């Protein structure tokens, strides 16, 4: 059983989510950001799929650590925008954009499309590697619709506009434990926990 994982990301929101998920499913598992992550030459996420980006990132960063490293590539795919923002979700509104900028661009693009189709899905692929060798790749998704405007104050990224039809609430309106039960990241991470346990 693997007792410690390093996350190949500097995203504090993701680390909080993964730690919360680990505390529910594998409380003995330690999750940390890869030491000196910001100083390591960055992996360029230029592949056309979430899986290729996640695996490439995990391999890249695993070469500077002895402990297993996991990386994710996740994003939002909107039907009416031909799957955009997709693998460009984090860079959708430009390199220096904040979450609010990305959400504003998404809503603007949907308004300009003139469509009533608001169907979308969040996708998450997680890759686990150790010293340049892939150990596992898992993925999952959650279906939803895009709200007309942001709702709620929790979460991060596109959470304020991603509505789960079964609950009638955006991810930002849900308590974190409920969000983790339904989310793409929660479902994918539970698969990863099965592998490491």
Structure tokens at 186: 């929660």
Active site residue 73: yes
CA 70/CA 166 separation, integer angstroms? 31
Let me know: does 151 contact 173? Beta carbons within 8 Å: yes
- Active-site annotation holder among 73, 79, 101, 116: 73
CA distances from 191 to 85, 90, 180 (A): 25, 24, 13
Cα separation, 197 vs 192, whole angstroms: 9
Q: Give the bridge partners for 133, in sequence order.
A: 130
Cα–Cα separations (whole angstroms), residue 150 to 1, 29, 107, 147, 169: 41, 34, 9, 7, 11
Catalytic positions, written as ranges: 73
């Amino acid at each position: 059983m693997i007792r410690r994982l390093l996350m190949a990301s500097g995203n504090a929101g993701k680390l909080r989510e993964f730690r919360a998920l680990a505390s529910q499913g594998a409380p003995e598992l330690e999750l940390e950001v890869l030491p000196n992550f910001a100083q390591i030459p960055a992996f360029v996420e230029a592949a056309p799929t979430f899986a290729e980006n996640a695996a490439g990132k995990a391999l890249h960063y695993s070469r500077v650590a002895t402990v297993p490293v996991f990386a994710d590539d996740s994003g939002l795919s909107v039907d009416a925008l031909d799957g955009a923002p997709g693998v460009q979700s984090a860079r959708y509104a430009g390199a220096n954009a904040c979450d609010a900028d990305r959400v504003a661009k998404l809503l603007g693009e949907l308004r300009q499309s003139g469509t009533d189709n608001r169907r979308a899905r969040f996708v998450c692929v997680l890759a686990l590697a150790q010293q340049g060798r892939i150990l596992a790749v898992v993925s999952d998704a959650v279906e939803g619709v895009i709200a007309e405007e942001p709702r709620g104050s929790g979460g991060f990224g596109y959470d304020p506009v991603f509505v789960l039809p079964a609950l009638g609430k955006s991810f930002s309106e849900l308590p974190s434990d409920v969000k983790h039960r339904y989310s793409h990241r929660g479902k994918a991470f539970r698969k990863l926990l099965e592998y490491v346990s």
